[in-house]
Structure 1
Amino acid sequence: METIVMDKTFVKKILVTGVGGPTPRSFVRAVKYFGGAHKSSFEFIGVDSNPLAYGLYDRDLFEKSFVVPRADAEQYWDVMNAVVEENAIDAAIVLPETEVLEWSRNHSKLKRTIKLHLPDYRLAKELVNKYQLHTLLNGTEYVPCFLKLKPEYYSFDNLKNELGGTFWVRSTEGSSGLGSLKIESPHVLTQWITMNPDVSEFIATEYLPGRNMACKLLYFNDKLLASACAERVKYIMAKTAPSGITGNTSFGRLLNEPRLVDISADALNVISKKIGTGLNGIFTVDYKEDVNGKPKITEINIRHVAFTSSIAAGGANLPLDTLLVLFDEESRYSKATHYTFKEPYVFLRDVDAYPIVMKESDLLK
């Protein structure tokens, strides 16, 4: 992406929501640790609804922090407006899905004009539901075979006939692999549904045994400005989840996968045209490869994901790109940058730890 030189005499104040989660903190780390000449151009103000949220007390990342109501609370916008006004906020980075939806729908409730980078609410609402996503892409080669699974009524035989003897189930909404498990027998499926009483709807898909990859696409006003790809290999606290997937990558690879960029961009174009919206925001398109090594889309996140600072450490700093474009209107339509990596880099992450990026050949044997 074209280098944008900002006025260093004026530090921009950035509100970051949901700082108790790893993704908002990863966004800020990408800028403060790997932002080069721009790392001091931004001051971050953190908010979260949980007073025990780690990020509220991380002074290495946030100059100030505030406890706010949940996004669905009646007082939410009154409190957010007070934080925005009293701290002279210039822009907001909204990252938890529930808040992305709330801000996309109701950001007109803001009393102060600030910079925002949000998807259209109609698009966001469709993408957060994995069954709706698969339905919108049905008829393309981009998604696996799938069926909706209602806990109160389903036929294992029908699932097996449509998806094969081994298939994957997960909640249609939610992150961190909510409700996810590999299913090989009716007994296991029955037990799994019983163990997840809060999941009102599952999606069942053909089992995809290949690589787990992600493609991040940065859009501003219907133009693709940047992309980067990575592979998830292992997960933090994987043993705590029956599926082995916690949604927080501990070991991964930075990838040069132009075909993922092409598929992701085309899939988003297909979806946005069906819904009748443009494309604006950051989208993380998740993939698993089928038995033939063909990538299939499993979900599309409407936000950054937790390893965003790891790819920033490798040179693909999409959080910094986001902020620089937000504050430079003239460069908004500059040529897209598709980040590639000169070396086969891997990244290592741990809970609240500084990410490590190195050549895979340098891993200890």
Structure 2
Amino acid sequence: MKKKNLNILITGIGGPTARSFARAIKEIGNYYNYNLIGTDVHPLAVGHYQKTLFNKSYVTKPSSHPGYWIEMEELIKKESIDIAIILPEQEVLEWSERQEKESLPCKSLIPPLKAVNKMLDKGILTAYLAESALVPNSIQINANDPLLKNNTENVLSYPYWIRSATGSSGLGSFKIETFNDLERWISINKGINNFIASDFLSGRNLACKMLYFKGKLIRSSCAERVNYIMSKVSPSGITGNTSFGRLVNDKKVFDVANKAMDIIFERTGVEKHGFYTVDLKEDENGIPLITEINVRHVAFTQCFALGGANLCEDTIRLLDEDSNFDTNFKLYQFEDGLIFLRDVDERPIVMKESDLIKN
């Protein structure tokens, strides 16, 4: 039987996450024949010119522009879009605000606004979960605080970790070992006024994917971030884009992420709905603690699909109301020892860690 076509809108195709999602469904998935329509605010976005991946693409207004929704609704109607995958975080926020007030222009897995508002700011998120023992001891820092030294040293011991309270990709991240380090780091990062500082966690850097749909957790899977693309350009060594990672089977990591998400949904009073990437870091005793929650897929989502956990196509099948899709919860289990390797302008590789070239 010939497969039907499904028209999918994917936003932010200048970023690796959108292209990773596109490959996960078009090259690895097998549910439908996908016609992918991409958008990005910049004409130099490389996705515009990947004609074998995206059937069409458009340069669009940013989600903050007053004409955004007129343009987006016209595009969705023109291209007969069945499902929209919204990936830049500020655009997710815009769609979440629209969802709060009125219906969306097409099917899309958008998290509820009250939950989004707790997650986009790391300081707010950490404070919200502070009593749960699921987050590291932390303090919010104002770059202009005249009592900065006392206010930080009364809460944290050296070394501690600092990063921007908002944004992703390791923005403003650095290991602070003395107060002079803090002063210099704030001076260098003049564009950041609000930081969050936390106990330094020396263990694994982990991610747990959580897919919810209409009040129910449907799928989850975990990975470890080990090294980062272009790590030498960042003083912290973290750029937010993983070059080497492991696909892991770790119920402990899932349990922490699941508990935190349950707390957020319960306290905000919203339905469990949306796709989230929960970032965690282990302390010296191997206990995973939550450092941030992304309200979307992240750049190595294709690697999960290559390992057998195609959360991208799971998302499509849920939104398409596929009657053959098993909606019972599944924590994906990977073949033991699977790793992934990524680099700029290269397709990722999933392989056995035991097959790495030995030094």
Same fold (TM over 0.5): yes
Partner of 1:3: none
User: Deviation of residue 326 (structure 1)?
Assistant: 1.0
**Counterpart mapping for 1:340-359 below 5 A:** 340-359=333-352
TM-score, normalised via structure 2 length: 0.96
Alignment partner of 1:66 is 2:68:
no
Partner of 1:26: 20
Matched position secondary structure for 1:162? coil
Partner of 2:237: 244
Q: 2:133 aligns with which of 132, 137, 141?
A: 141
User: Deviation of residue 276 (structure 1)?
Assistant: 1.4
- Alpha-carbon RMSD: 1.7
2:34 maps to a residue whose letter is F
Q: 1:185 aligns with which of 163, 166, 178?
A: 178
Encode CA deviations 1:65-114: one digit per residue, 9 max, x unaligned.
00000110111111111111111111100011000000111158999842
Partner of 2:280: 287
2:122 maps to a residue whose letter is K
Partner of 1:221: 214
User: Deviation of residue 149 (structure 1)?
Assistant: 0.2
Question: C-alpha separation between the residues in 2 aligned to 1:52 and 1:68?
Answer: 12
Alignment partner of 1:152 is 2:140:
no
Percent identical among aligned pairs is 46
Which moved further from structure 2: 194-203 or 13-22?
194-203
Partner of 1:127: 119
TM-score, normalised via structure 1 length: 0.94
User: Deviation of residue 332 (structure 1)?
Assistant: 7.1
Alignment partner of 1:339 is 2:329:
no
User: Deviation of residue 119 (structure 1)?
Assistant: 0.2
User: Deviation of residue 251 (structure 1)?
Assistant: 0.3
List alignment gaps of at least 5 residues for structure 2. none
Which moved further from structure 2: 268-277 or 243-252?
268-277
**Counterpart mapping for 1:320-339 below 5 A:** 320-328=313-321, 330=323, 334-339=327-332
Alignment partner of 1:49 is 2:23:
no
User: Deviation of residue 333 (structure 1)?
Assistant: 7.2
Asked if the contact 1:143/1:296 (under 8 Å) is kept, the reply is yes
Q: 1:196 aligns with which of 189, 201, 206?
A: 189
Q: 1:10 aligns with which of 4, 19, 22?
A: 4
User: Deviation of residue 160 (structure 1)?
Assistant: 2.6
Between the two proteins, the alignment pairs up a number of residues equal to 357
Question: C-alpha separation between the residues in 1 aligned to 2:36 and 2:196?
Answer: 38
Encode CA deviations 1:318-358: one digit per residue, 9 max, x unaligned.
00110011112646772111101122100000113211000
Matched position secondary structure for 1:147? strand
Question: C-alpha separation between the residues in 1 aligned to 2:194 and 2:237?
Answer: 21
List alignment gaps of at least 5 residues for structure 1. 1-6
Matched position secondary structure for 1:244? coil
Task: Kindly report structure 1 stretches of 4+ aligned residues shifted beyond 6 Å.
Answer: 108-112
Asked if the contact 2:76/2:105 (under 8 Å) is kept, the reply is no
Question: C-alpha separation between the residues in 2 aligned to 1:12 and 1:111?
Answer: 21
